[in-house]
């Protein structure tokens, strides 16, 4: 039975990449009955008499999936953040990191417009903190796109999704990696402080020896699906030392002899990371239950 990976879904058709061939397929009626929707990124078995029309017979179990964009089996997320226009926000970066960690996706932090940085020392301090935690940080500038070769190296043989605020340079980066794409990059709308970029369907495009989801990334940044007791597992520096907390299942908020709070006091964990943890904790705590 031939097998491949869905790289595009459009108007009820699924385009399956099998080695170097792309086969246009429809989903079997049984998927609809079972309320199963094939996703871009799914590994599937299919049958086809020719490359114009085939049928997807089965979908392999997914290692992860995202709702927005609807894509499965992502290896890594390139979190694109500009240092200016819009200004760098560690709070927003930590929000993205928590969402990515909760899906067991490897994050790569890509900072753009480094040449526009006003307070380089402060910025370097943030970069140092994130690298110390264990995150990969790639720095690029808006003019020369220095750092592009390094980013390409990380994309090889991986399925990646690019995510981040509008206007941070996601499309510019993808255009630099694959100039033939000619993705639209609109100037930032000054009144909103946001860029304008619309993508109508999800597609995995070959880039730098891997596959990249050409999507606008997360349109929802809430923590639906993350429980209070799971939140600290999305902060790697907390996970490392939480076994030293006095109480098993310590939530690192009000508990005595908490190793995480001690590490914050000793400046071993950046204070702003812990503040964001508390902020997200409250947000999840106040989430209305869904019935």
CATH no. for residue 272? Answer: 1.10.40.50
Q: What is the average pLDDT across 203-212? A: 91
Residues 74 and 209 in one domain: yes
Phi, psi values for residue 102, rounded to 5° = -65, -20
| Structural domain of 237 | 228-285
CA distances from residue 167 to 3, 24, 25, 110, 175 in whole angstroms, order as listed: 38, 34, 35, 14, 14
Residue 197 has pLDDT above 50, yes or no: no
The last residue of a domain, from among 60, 79, 107 = 60
Q: Is 208 a residue whose pLDDT tops 80?
A: yes
Q: Is 161 within the bounds of a domain?
A: yes
CA distances from 244 to 167, 181, 218, 252, 272 (A): 42, 50, 34, 11, 21
99 and 201 in a common domain: yes
Q: Are residues 73 and 183 in the same domain?
A: yes
Contact 53, 23 (CB under 8 A): no
Residue 219 lies in a domain: no
Q: What is the mean pLDDT of residues 95-120?
A: 92
Written as six digits, the tokens of 220 are 């929802």
CA atoms within 13 A on the CB side of 199: 26
Q: Could you read off the pLDDT of 149-173 as tens digits, one per residue?
A: 899 999 999 999 988 877 777 777 8
For the chain, give the longest Cα–Cα distance: 66
Domain count, the chain: 3
Report whether pLDDT(278) > 90. yes
- pLDDT at 125 exceeding the cut of 60: yes
Q: Assess whether pLDDT exceeds 70 at residue 174.
A: yes
**What stretch of H or E contains 223?**
none
Distance from chain centroid for Cα 231? 17
């Amino acid at each position: 039975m031939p097998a491949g990976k869905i790289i595009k879904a459009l108007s009820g058709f699924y385009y399956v990449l099998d080695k170097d061939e792309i086969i246009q397929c429809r989903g079997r009626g049984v998927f609809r009955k079972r309320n199963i929707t094939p996703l871009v990124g799914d590994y599937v078995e299919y049958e086809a008499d020719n490359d114009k029309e085939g049928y997807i017979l089965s979908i392999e179990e997914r290692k992860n999936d995202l709702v927005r964009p609807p894509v499965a089996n992502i290896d890594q997320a390139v979190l694109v953040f500009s240092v200016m226009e819009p200004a760098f926000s560690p709070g927003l970066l930590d929000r993205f990191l928590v969402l990515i960690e909760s899906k067991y996706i490897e994050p790569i932090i890509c900072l753009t417009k480094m040449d526009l940085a006003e307070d380089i020392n402060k910025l370097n301090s943030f970069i140092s903190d994130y690298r110390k935690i264990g995150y990969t940080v790639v720095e690029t500038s808006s003019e020369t796109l220095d750092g592009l070769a390094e980013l390409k190296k990380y994309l090889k043989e991986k399925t990646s999704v690019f995510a981040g605020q509008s206007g941070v340079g996601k499309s510019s980066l993808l255009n630099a990696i694959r100039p033939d794409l000619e993705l639209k990059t609109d100037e930032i709308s000054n009144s909103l402080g946001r860029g304008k970029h619309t993508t109508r369907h999800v597609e995995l495009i070959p880039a730098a020896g891997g596959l990249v989801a050409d999507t606008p990334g997360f349109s929802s940044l809430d923590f639906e699906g993350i429980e209070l007791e799971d939140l600290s597992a999305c902060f790697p520096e907390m996970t490392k030392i939480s076994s030293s907390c006095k109480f098993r299942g310590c939530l690192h908020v009000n508990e005595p002899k908490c190793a995480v709070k001690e590490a914050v006091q000793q400046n071993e964990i950046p204070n702003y990371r812990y503040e964001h943890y508390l902020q997200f904790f409250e947000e999840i705590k106040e989430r209305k239950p869904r019935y």
